[in-house]
Structure 1
């Protein structure tokens, strides 16, 4: 069973808090970061669920994280693919919850904004920021 954890931005103390997601009687979203009872109100737009996956540096990947991934593409010869014929591309993606699953996507790739990744095509994944603190990572030239 995977660990259930949420992350949210505590705008009062200007920090990320991690823990259980709650809603109080006034409709505010809170993160309970201490098992005894301590919780703080968080910005609802910043809330992200832990995916259950860690990056290559053992850092937890949350919904809304911006990741740099290395995608491998097969390189074909004239008529067939050779064993070591792969080329790599570094791309910036965002972790999102789409159609009941955590997926990584890049907004500027196509009209739907989704990248299709075949199993085994991602060789490296590193968290480099998130869409709340680092929106400039998603800008195209």
Structure 2
């Protein structure tokens, strides 16, 4: 079974938080045109809090920046580092951004029989025309950054 794990950058500390993902609606909507405003929705990563002396652990919810949330692909790079959606990976002379969504079956990294899944998107500088660009094929990927902390890697 694939490990389900998310990451996102904390709105307070700008540090990466790893755990479960939840969209928290701060109130319930009523009938009619009542819609939640942006400030009434929080995106949180839930993590286990510290517990000692066999006491039950509590869950801690850390609010994260919505655009930075990405899911773990279930795969690791050549150094054992987990590969997440939004990571920039390199194989030989090629660079790709790990994405999630619907694409051609030749780009799938993982699961769902060719409809929706993780895939590699050429970084814009990589000439990958006609290249079979899935993680299973390359096998020797290394994470060199991500699109949030290292956008300059896509411009090189």
Q: TM-score, normalised by structure 2?
A: 0.68
Q: 1:28–1:41: 8 Å Cα contact kept in structure 2?
A: yes
Map 1:30-45 → 2, pairs under 5 A? 30-34=44-48, 36-45=58-67
Q: Secondary structure at the match of 2:141?
A: strand
Q: 1:105–1:115: 8 Å Cα contact kept in structure 2?
A: no
Instruction: Measure, in 2, the Cα distance between the counterparts of 1:53 and 1:119.
Output: 9
Report the counterpart of residue 95 of structure 2 in structure 1: 92
Q: Secondary structure at the match of 2:62?
A: strand
Q: 2:125–2:154: 8 Å Cα contact kept in structure 1?
A: no
Higher helix proportion (structure 1 or 2)? 2
1:127–1:118: structure 2 CA closer, same or farther, 3 Å change rule?
Answer: closer
Report the counterpart of residue 42 of structure 2 in structure 1: 28
Aligned residue pairs, count: 119
- 5+ residue gaps, structure 1, are 71-89
Instruction: Measure, in 2, the Cα distance between the counterparts of 1:38 and 1:116.
Output: 41
Match status 1:102 vs 2:105: no
Q: 2:7–2:18: 8 Å Cα contact kept in structure 1?
A: yes
Report the counterpart of residue 138 of structure 1 in structure 2: 154
1:101–1:30: structure 2 CA closer, same or farther, 3 Å change rule?
Answer: same
Q: Secondary structure at the match of 1:8?
A: strand
Higher strand proportion (structure 1 or 2)? 1
* Off by >2 Å, runs of 4+ in structure 1: 113-121
